[in-house]
Structure 1
């Protein structure tokens, strides 16, 4: 078996959420625990930080990994989904997993796959844990896939648990109220393990307080400890002055992730680092500042208000749910351009009308679809968008849509590609 055969086996043999949606979601941890047992329980052999949340958990995970590796810790990073390369999901100090390891792992795990019949995600979680043990990481940053309580990653006992925020997403699986969704995310809170909540919300605060109390887990709300006192843009960098609420001591940070929504994620990261420092991790202010200037370079993060072309400006952003699109529209309002072109594709199981009604009506739209079965057909998306006042045409694939936008755009225009991780991942420019 070579690498292409191994990955093809994973993509075609196992139920995959990105391809088929809810049918691939396993609602308990049994399969993951059985896989881990088959491998000698690798999840017990490395330290970790466990991160859940509706939005921002990917950026937060990458920022934390960047800080830890800058501070000299051999750092694992497990995230999902990938944009272009399956190996993006598994990194150690920013380097993707070895192809040879993937092949060896798939060959070794096949008997367990035949017996347990796990999902694609369950296998990738087990692969990540096994890889981090083999690489001898000092600590790994583990991002949940979906939810928290029943997510396959929820077999680790971390140094600290993190929940970035709660918003509307995957309601068919996680619940139809914010408190129900918060309860699922709060499932990553472990007995006596500190938990940091990124954003305080009256609709969910009580849920976190109750679960933390039951688990006797120290609870901290990041946005009550620090706030952004000043901010500005400088050459596609976000420059922040962050103040500590209790003392008003201020520190300056320059982020290579320019989306204004990163201010919230930065506050969360700083609170997590504060607790790691208290626990004995040797992380200095210089480490934090150095890491945040080069998160993309250190960790390979892409697709977060990422400028990939100028004259016209072309921006990629993986925001795809109601809250993510709200953050994108806020960023649009902060941007300078002559006319806005939006290339967008959505998946069927999102609240399509809610997302569409948030988007600016004065933009020119290019409705498209990613090449996955879950994608909403471009003509249906165009019809539903026209019904709420968005004007544009349908294109059968992402790159045809992007090329048409590039052809029609003036030099001072902006082209935004958004709506789905899979849409962004298919852009070739």
Structure 2
């Protein structure tokens, strides 16, 4: 198959949570383990750091990878979802996996895919682990896709695990209380493996402590360490810094050679080193245009707080969402005085712009409707003043369809 045919095969024939939602969520690790067995268990052939959490896990993964790269280690990075290109999900030292490897991998395990019928995510995880093993990485930083306990990535035995924080997201699959969600995320805690908790929350602390105790896993809470970035970075990277630093400290205790300068340089050059996109990403100055993939209440609260600090005049908010999300608490977070523009993405899970507008009106918010994010951006750019700020957010898939990302 060609690369395009390979992607069509993966996207169209196999269930993928990002496109179709809950129906694609597999509640066990059987398929992943079967696939990996066909590949001679590559997940056992490299060292790793495993990251779960409601918010901040992607940023934390990129931050830890950037630090390890700066320290001279050949560093794999697995994250999801991608924004522009499928190959963004799998990187080594910031370089995306080649299209030829993706094609060759699917060709190589085509019969196993037909036999096992795994999900898109299960195949992608197996692909990443096979690539990291073949390329003999020193260490890989692996972000969970959804939850933790039953996530396809939860077959590795890492050097250290990180749980960034717990918030209300994907409640239809992970549970309707913070305690239940925490129990799912805590599924990445492995026997005897140190675990770092990025934020101590009263509702979840006992859950983590009890599971860590049963697993015989040393548990630590990240200390409130300050970090002053040299440029404009997402405030949630600053918020996640203590967890990142705590993980690095554990690795140093284990013998990994990482200096204070490696930490500072890695984080300052995070975007350049890892290719991170969609996190407070500046697309244009005057007017300032920012794209950010924050999509749940906790993430958007932090984003809006930072935007309020840097917005000099009027905020123009281009916003889209997915169908399976309660938007009422999110609408309450919208900055006062923001002008709103509703949009949608092309994926099946996307909430239609008409339905989004209706939900907004119910919550007392008016806005203009556009069926394409680029159409919305073009419209807004024609009416803004130089000191205004345009923010595109609310859905990873809306951000991914921005032309100039």
The residue that corresponds to 1:99 in the other structure is 99
Question: Which of 220, 224, 228 is the equivalent residue of 1:226?
Answer: 224
Q: Is the 1:257–1:295 contact (alpha carbons within 8 Å) kept by the matching residues of 2?
A: no
What's the secondary structure of 1:408's corresponding residue? coil
Q: How far did residue 391 of structure 1 move? A: 2.1
The residue that corresponds to 1:193 in the other structure is 193
Question: Greater CA deviation, 164-173 or 284-293?
Answer: 284-293
Shift in alpha-carbon separation, 1:290–1:168, aligned structure 2, 3 A: same
User: In the TM superposition, what whole-angstrom CA distance separates every residue of 1:110-158 from its partner, at most 9, and x where no partner exists?
Assistant: 1111111100000000000000011110000000000000000000000
Shift in alpha-carbon separation, 1:255–1:11, aligned structure 2, 3 A: farther
CA distance in 1, matches of 2:267, 2:327: 34
Question: Which of 393, 405, 423 is the equivalent residue of 2:368?
Answer: 393
What's the secondary structure of 1:307's corresponding residue? strand
The residue that corresponds to 1:369 in the other structure is 344
CA distance in 2, matches of 1:303, 1:256: 16
- 1:26 equivalent to 2:26? Answer yes
Q: Is the 1:345–1:367 contact (alpha carbons within 8 Å) kept by the matching residues of 2?
A: yes
What's the secondary structure of 1:50's corresponding residue? strand
What's the secondary structure of 1:203's corresponding residue? helix
Task: Decide which structure has greater strand share.
Answer: 1
The residue correspondences of 1:312-327 to structure 2 (distance < 5 A) are: 312-327=287-302
Q: Is the 1:361–1:389 contact (alpha carbons within 8 Å) kept by the matching residues of 2?
A: no
Q: How far did residue 267 of structure 1 move? A: 1.1
The residue correspondences of 1:10-159 to structure 2 (distance < 5 A) are: 10-159=10-159
Question: Greater CA deviation, 19-28 or 354-363?
Answer: 354-363
Question: Which stretches in structure 1 are left out of the alignment for 5+ residues?
Answer: 229-239, 241-252
CA distance in 2, matches of 1:389, 1:340: 18
Q: Is the 2:234–2:280 contact (alpha carbons within 8 Å) kept by the matching residues of 1?
A: yes
- 1:167 equivalent to 2:142? Answer no
Question: Which stretches in structure 2 are left out of the alignment for 5+ residues?
Answer: none
CA distance in 2, matches of 1:185, 1:320: 19
Q: Is the 1:256–1:292 contact (alpha carbons within 8 Å) kept by the matching residues of 2?
A: no
User: In the TM superposition, what whole-angstrom CA distance separates every residue of 1:265-322 from its partner, at most 9, and x where no partner exists?
Assistant: 1111111111100000000011111111110000000111111111110011100011
- Length, aligned pairs only: 404
What's the secondary structure of 2:51's corresponding residue? strand
CA distance in 2, matches of 1:307, 1:48: 31
The residue correspondences of 1:143-292 to structure 2 (distance < 5 A) are: 143-222=143-222, 225-228=223-226, 240=227, 253-254=228-229, 258-292=233-267
Shift in alpha-carbon separation, 1:316–1:346, aligned structure 2, 3 A: same
The residue that corresponds to 1:296 in the other structure is 271
Q: How far did residue 256 of structure 1 move? A: 5.2
CA distance in 1, matches of 2:357, 2:375: 15
The residue that corresponds to 2:400 in the other structure is 425
Q: How far did residue 173 of structure 1 move? A: 0.2
Q: How far did residue 255 of structure 1 move? A: 5.5
TM-score (norm 2): 0.98
Q: Is the 1:255–1:292 contact (alpha carbons within 8 Å) kept by the matching residues of 2?
A: no
The residue that corresponds to 1:380 in the other structure is 355
Q: How far did residue 361 of structure 1 move? A: 3.9
CA distance in 2, matches of 1:387, 1:402: 25
What's the secondary structure of 1:415's corresponding residue? strand
TM-score (norm 1): 0.93
- 1:405 equivalent to 2:380? Answer yes
Q: Is the 1:77–1:91 contact (alpha carbons within 8 Å) kept by the matching residues of 2?
A: yes
User: In the TM superposition, what whole-angstrom CA distance separates every residue of 1:341-360 from its partner, at most 9, and x where no partner exists?
Assistant: 00000001111222122112
CA distance in 2, matches of 1:309, 1:18: 28
What's the secondary structure of 1:393's corresponding residue? strand
CA distance in 2, matches of 1:255, 1:191: 39
CA distance in 1, matches of 2:229, 2:257: 21
What's the secondary structure of 2:245's corresponding residue? helix
CA distance in 1, matches of 2:232, 2:68: 17
CA distance in 2, matches of 1:104, 1:378: 39
RMSD of aligned alpha carbons? 1.0
Q: How far did residue 383 of structure 1 move? A: 1.5
Q: Is the 2:209–2:219 contact (alpha carbons within 8 Å) kept by the matching residues of 1?
A: yes
